[in-house]
Amino acid sequence: MKKLGQHFLVDYQLLDRLVEYGQILDKDVVLEVGAGTGELTWRLAERAGRVIAVEIDEKLVEEASRKLSKYSNVELITGDILKVKHKIRGFNKVVSNPPYQISTKLMHWLIMSLPERIVLTLQKDFALKITSPPGSKKYVYTSFLANLFYKCRIIEDVPRNLFKPMPKVDSAVILMERIDGEVIPGEEELKLVKILFTQKTKKLRNTLKTVSERLQLSFREIEENISEELLNERVYRIEPLRLYKCMETVIQLTAKMANGNLNT
């Protein structure tokens, strides 16, 4: 178990609370990553219309299968979530205690899948990054991505002694509630934001100069279409939606340039 980075919650009351935090209804399709022996899985199955549970350890899958044999609404998948994610569709909620070493990649995929509600037990430091506001020292690209589409907050601290084997770090439960809006994840826009966050403490003006060179776009065009006030703000201080809209403008300018429609 330890070589796979797995630490299992042994506090059954906390498992019950995770289900409560998920606000599971019989119409919901719930994804669980890191199902282990199925202790959280069967609790989800009691309420959900369907549960998709993923576990990488074959021996644990065997044990979970026996425990879950009476639940016809559980689909138990053996494999690494990052390798089988293309097979997983249709979930609208996530309730999980995922392996900590895949937290960043898992979080990016979950956010881009846009479920309406996400409840995760994460390493405390990572949970703080996810919930950090713009301007915070912990605010990184993953923080931006999470807060662009979700209202994120820590709802419970989890001491390390509630896990077996006991990890070296404390944990926290985060709740992510989908923000209603018209933002649809744009691959090109998000790629640009990711580039900006490699120099997050610099002013947007300076980081966009690097971006404009990569796109072979005149920086003068950017200056004419983005406010001076925004250009002079540091990347990590800009509100997520405002930064995303800025990248939409850059992509639109690039498309116009490709079509020969930019002012000369």
Segment 39-54, tens digit of pLDDT: 999 999 999 999 999 9
How many Å from the N-terminal Cα to the C-terminal Cα in the chain?
62
Average the pLDDT over each of 66-75, 119-128, 142-151, 255-264 and give the range with the smallest value.
Answer: 255-264
From the number of C-beta atoms within 10 Å of its C-beta (0-12, 13-18, 19+), residue 198 rates as: exposed
Higher confidence at residue 85 or residue 164?
A: 85
Structural contact between residues 235 and 243, judged by C-beta atoms closer than 8 angstroms: yes
Question: Does residue 197 have a pLDDT over 60?
Answer: yes
pTM summary value: 0.92
CATH ID of 2-178, from 3.40.50.150, 3.40.50.720, 3.60.15.10, 3.30.420.60: 3.40.50.150
Read off the pLDDT of residues 153-176 as tens digits, 9 standing for 90 and up: 999 999 999 998 898 999 999 999
Q: How confident is the model at residue 185 (pLDDT cuts 50, 70, 90)?
A: confident
User: Which tokens sit at 92?
Assistant: 């609208």
Distance CA 10, CA 162 (A): 6
Q: What does the pLDDT read at residue 262?
A: 59
Q: What does the pLDDT read at residue 2?
A: 46
CA-wise closest residue to 190 among 244, 142, 117? 244
Distance CA 180, CA 178 (A): 6
Q: What Å distances lie between residue 124 and 173, 188, 255, 257, CA to CA? A: 8, 31, 42, 45
Residue type, 73: N
Average pLDDT over residues 28-32: 99
Q: What percentage of the chain has pLDDT greater than the value 90? A: 86
Q: Give the H/E segment covering residue 15.
A: helix 12-22
E strands present in 88-214: 93-96, 117-123, 150-158, 163-164, 171-178
Q: What does the pLDDT read at residue 1?
A: 44
Read off the pLDDT of residues 227-257 as tens digits, 9 standing for 90 and up: 999 999 999 999 999 999 999 999 999 988 8
Q: What does the pLDDT read at residue 183?
A: 78
List beta partners, residue 177. 117, 151
